[in-house]
Structure 1
Amino acid sequence: AFFTVELILRIISAPSFVDFVKNIMNWIDIAAVVPYYVALGVYLADRLTSINSTTSIGLRLLRILRFTRVLKFYRVFKNIKSLRALGATIRESLPDFFIMINILTLLSFVFGAAAYFAENDANGQAFDSILKATYWGIITITGVGYGDIAPITPIGRIIACLCGLCGATTIGMLVSVLVDRYQRVFARKLYINEDIVDFH
């Protein structure tokens, strides 16, 4: 009810209805409010009869649309200078992210293949395929370490240690690059007119 009242008041108090319609954030607010009344109307219309499965699925999808109201926080976040700097940093760092993902994927495959050949005879059930060994490599190199697959041979454990160290080193380098870039972007946004700065 609060979102409905707020939306109605904003429509009434808008200086220009055309500008109100052109604002994408207003459409997000409408998309968050309308599903509630559609669902309410369906329930009231079908309260004397059972709701079929198709209608039930449609109502669930409408409930999902109501989560678009979370995007309203964008109006708050976009005015915080540090968050704008973080967004610009992420945009500038996308090539670095892709390069790092490729490196980690390649290293995961290499260490996974090495672990497969080292563990296949002694631990064949866990490392019975290159794909499963690569899965182990990805989990290990990213530092997640589920533990569902683990090497048991000395050589396999050495490979696991090297895999974890390579992952920590690679991810650490990416973090240092992001921190340095964030500091530079934040300094530009703080001391330079943002209207004349191109962050792309």
Structure 2
Amino acid sequence: MPQGLKLPSLANGSAHQMHPSNERLITINVSGLHFQTKESVLSKYPNTLLGDRKRRLPFYHKDLDEFFFDRHRPSFDGIFEFYKTGKIRRPINVPLDVFLMELTNFDMGETVINQVLKQEGCKHTRHGEKAPNSEPRRTIWYLFERPESSILAGIVATLSCVITLLSVAGTCFQTLPQYRQKANNVTSDPLRFHAAFQDSFFCIETGCVSWFAFELGIRFYASTNKIKFVKDILNILDFLAILPYVVTLVLLLSNTRGKSEVSLVVVRIVRLVRILRVFKLTRHVTAMKILLTTIYRCRSALGTKLLFLLTGTVLFAGLAYVAESNVVGSKFSSIPESFWWAVVTMTTVGYGDVIPVTAGGKIAACACALFGLLEVSMICPIFIEEFENVLRSYSQDSVKILCQNEERTEKKLLRRPSLQSLVEKETSM
């Protein structure tokens, strides 16, 4: 008799039938589809949900004498096959994200999940920071680091995005002519310092920076690896989001009389850094995070592309200069002046502010445009493949987060007195 047997239907299933060899048979009902196997087959993987007698017991239905799981039936074919053969394979008719969700739900482990990702061609897997074990740091960590973990965490992430957009919008509107002079006035004066807090933009900035500082501080407190936290690029951006406000306060409190030109340069630099706050959205907007991660992983290919771009720029700018330099009123007055035209043509932007008029110049322009198209066609497949890999990696992490609530619910069920007594009775058999 085979170790595992899939039953299309089972009117009177028995989760603990006795096999002729005195080994118990386990009946598993997955949304109406029944599976039956020896207990020893499941026990080969004790760290999984089905392999652990205590953990699978909350799903036991005494009346039907079976373990019931309201999960995706086609996915369980692959999971059940793993228990029998030790090899995991995604069923053809099951999407990857659904199969990963089911693997996580049945707690098949990181090794099995990574095997599936490798089979699917996903080269990279993310290993993010683990949640703290102690409270309240664990709750705070999920609240600020995992927006998908709960409704409250989603509200916190939304609030952070709104405050970030409000801060960037304030910086942009402050450059309007009617507000520009007031924004540039940073000369030291006690009255000026008090007047700053009567300015609407400054009050908005104060409120936004207060939230940024609180968010950064609380996340630092909840982190398990402080050194890794400090080195993280997103945390550095969070710190830079606070820095301009501190510099502005220093300028208001310090003696800057007679140094207005220096102060104005500092204000402009501060304003530029404040615009970079838009990158804070990367922490909460997964699409931006995936895009930036893809760009980072394609940095080698992008470096090669920039090298080709530089080579093409010099080559075609030189050709255009030779062909157009003798034309009266030509804008191709030198090779460096022609760089702009070469880059715009090669990237197929084509502003039209500089155009060749000679036959040689037009031939150079055609060759430049074709070279640019070939360059783009070379980099696109690499970028798309890496984008898909990163997307799969993030999908895997999202699946794990969605299933963590189910795991916590399972543990709560297991702590119920009625189920606990059933566990003790089951293990004593």
TM bin, normalised by shorter chain, reads: 0.5 to 0.7
Q: Provide the aligned length of Structure 1 versus Structure 2.
A: 184
Amino acid at match of 1:179: I
> Which residue in 2 is equivalent to 1:40?
252
Amino acid at match of 1:127: F
> Which residue in 1 is equivalent to 2:373?
168
Is 1:137 matched up with 2:137? no
Q: Which of residues 324, 328, 332 in structure 2 aligns to 1:119? A: 324
Structure 1 runs not aligned, ≥5 long: 195-200
Higher relative contact order (CA 8 A, sep 6+): 1
Which SS does the other structure have where 1:147 is aligned? coil
2-structure distance, mates of 1:188, 1:97: 21
- Structural mapping, 1:36-185, within 5 Å: 36-42=248-254, 51-52=257-258, 54=259, 57-58=262-263, 61=266, 64-65=269-270, 68=273, 76-122=281-327, 125-185=330-390
Higher mean C-alpha deviation, range 33-42 or range 182-191: 33-42
Change (3 A) 1:92 1:121: same
Structure 2 runs not aligned, ≥5 long: 1-205, 400-429
Amino acid at match of 2:243: A
2-structure distance, mates of 1:27, 1:130: 42
2-structure distance, mates of 1:134, 1:71: 28
Which SS does the other structure have where 1:161 is aligned? helix
Greater helix content: 1
CA RMSD of aligned residues (A): 4.0
Amino acid at match of 1:38: V
> Which residue in 2 is equivalent to 1:31?
243
Given that residues 213 and 242 in structure 2 are in contact (C-alpha distance below 8 angstroms), is that contact kept between their aligned partners in structure 1? Answer: no
Higher mean C-alpha deviation, range 174-183 or range 130-139: 130-139
Change (3 A) 1:178 1:56: same
> 1:154: how far off?
1.9
2-structure distance, mates of 1:8, 1:126: 51
Change (3 A) 1:102 1:123: farther
Once the two structures are aligned, what percentage of the paired residues are identical? 23
CA radius of gyration, larger in:
2
Q: TM-score, normalised by structure 2?
A: 0.35
Q: TM-score, normalised by structure 1?
A: 0.66
Change (3 A) 1:130 1:14: closer
2-structure distance, mates of 1:95, 1:62: 36
> 1:120: how far off?
3.6
